Amino acid sequence: MPQIIEAGGRRWVAGLVWHGYSTKPKPKELQKTAAEEKADWVAVRPPLVGTTATQAGFCVPVPGEPARPRGLYSLAAAIADKKAQPWLGVYEIADDLWWMIAVVHNHSILTEGDVVGTRAEIRKARDSLRGHAGWEFYEGTLKDDLLPILASRKRRAFARVKSVIPVPPARLFGPPLAATAGLVACFYLWNWHLHAEETARERALIAARAHHHAPAPISPLAITPTPDTWLQACAAAINPLPLTVAGWALSGIACDRSGVDLKWTRLDGGTTLLRPPGVLSSDGNTIVGGMALPRLPAGPDKTLGLETDTNILFGLLQSLGITAQISAPALPPQLPGLTSRPASTAIPESVVRFSVPFSPWLLSLDVPGFRLTEMHQTTQGWDLTGEIYGR
């Protein structure tokens, strides 16, 4: 099983299975080898020293990482050509976590020469290679021996770990610039229109709550969609998005009641001459844009009460192994000179926060009195926020 090792400000993958090619392999060749290895990730090394030959390492995704990894590099590819060949090194990474690399002619990594595991597993892997003649053996640690090598290397010498699964054509970005400009203009006008409507509705709600002569405050449940409806709308907007656009990587996604916010980060080779729509940062390396959600139907204006709805939501999330934080409703402020607090005329509400390590649109959260307000993607999954309204 591959492992991610953090060193020198970067994240490295150890434990790949390496294959050789006479020239740089085409995507179909990589996909064929990946299918044979039952792997989804691949790292392609630069041409081997003095040859046109190339190696590619394959592995299954590391648990907890997205299917299409970002910012990961092969540890073996960065180390292989830094010692005289043939050589075999064993390095202590952490407590009872060791890594072995075995390098032969032209600084090629042996097929089974990139192994990570316990001390016993590494000893077994090393002993299986003792039959190869002429090894120069090395032992060391991540901090003292590997980190100096990694810190001295240029980024272009690294082999980035990528997904070998092709991106569906429907997710590719490619409209002509002129057509894109027109679509961008329409998009922002529509987004402004929806945002103005949402702002007007929220101001009406705030005004109704503040008006002490009103017989009853307006229920947020009567003007907001159910959690399931809102999650599906966010999924419909987010799922078709490409992971990269003309050298710009999608590095941040958030969804709230008005729309989806996107952050794009420039990759090597990307320029502002061809880029996603949005507001460009002052250094020209990031873009913040977004898209509006369609008007969603309001859910039913019903609640079983704060305590009951809170118990239902806690139980539903706990059955899925999800830990939630649900705050108690705030008490109205005590006025100077009074010995008791006035009764609140606002609808009682509690704030809900929880995280999930999977796509949130797989959830079903139609709990009476509960509404989701926002969510954003993290390196571990998604953080979600919502509110429970009572009576």
pLDDT bucket at 216, cuts 50 / 70 / 90: low
List the chain domain ranges: 3-166, 177-331+342-389
In angstroms, the Cα distances linking 334 to 29, 74, 184, 216 are 72, 61, 50, 21
Local confidence band at 345 (pLDDT 50, 70, 90 cut-offs): very low
Q: Which residue has the higher pLDDT, 201 or 120?
A: 120
Per-residue CA distances from 162 to 9, 46, 251 (Å): 19, 14, 15
Read off the pLDDT of each residue in 43-49 and give the average, rounded to a whole number: 86
Ramachandran region, residue 134 (left: φ > 0; alpha: ψ -120 to 50; beta: rest): left
Q: What is the mean pLDDT of the chain?
A: 83
Report whether 334 contacts 258 (CB < 8 A): no
Question: Mind giving me the DSSP string for 234-267?
Answer: HHHHHTT--SEETTEEEEEEEEESSEEEEEEEEP
CA distance 282 to 263: 14
Is the predicted pLDDT of residue 330 greater than 70, yes or no?
no
Cα angle: 148, vertex 153, 159; to 5 degrees? 115
3-state SS, residue 100: strand
What pLDDT is attached to residue 169?
A: 52
Lowest-confidence segment of 72-81, 134-143, 177-186, 299-308 by average pLDDT: 177-186
Residue with the bigger pLDDT between 203 and 388: it is 388
Amino acid (1-letter code) at residue 390:
G
pLDDT digits (tens, 9 = 90+) for 18-38: 999 988 899 999 999 999 999
Q: Assign 359 a pLDDT band (cuts: 50, 70, 90).
A: confident
Which pLDDT value is given to residue 253?
Answer: 92
Q: What percent of the chain has pLDDT over 90?
A: 40
Read off the pLDDT band of 181 (50, 70, 90).
very low
User: Residue 221 is encoded by which pair of tokens?
Assistant: 């449940």
Provide the pLDDT confidence category of residue 45 given band limits of 50, 70 and 90. Answer: very high
Q: How confident is the model at residue 62 (pLDDT cuts 50, 70, 90)?
A: very high
Is the model's pLDDT at 101 over the cut of 60? yes
Give the span between the Cα atoms of 254 and 248, in whole angstroms. Answer: 18
Does residue 330 contact residue 350 with C-beta atoms inside 8 Å? no
Average pLDDT over residues 224-249: 89
pLDDT value at residue 338: 45
- Report the pLDDT value the prediction gives residue 155, as an integer from 0 to 100: 80
Write down the residue that tokens 């830094």 correspond to: 82
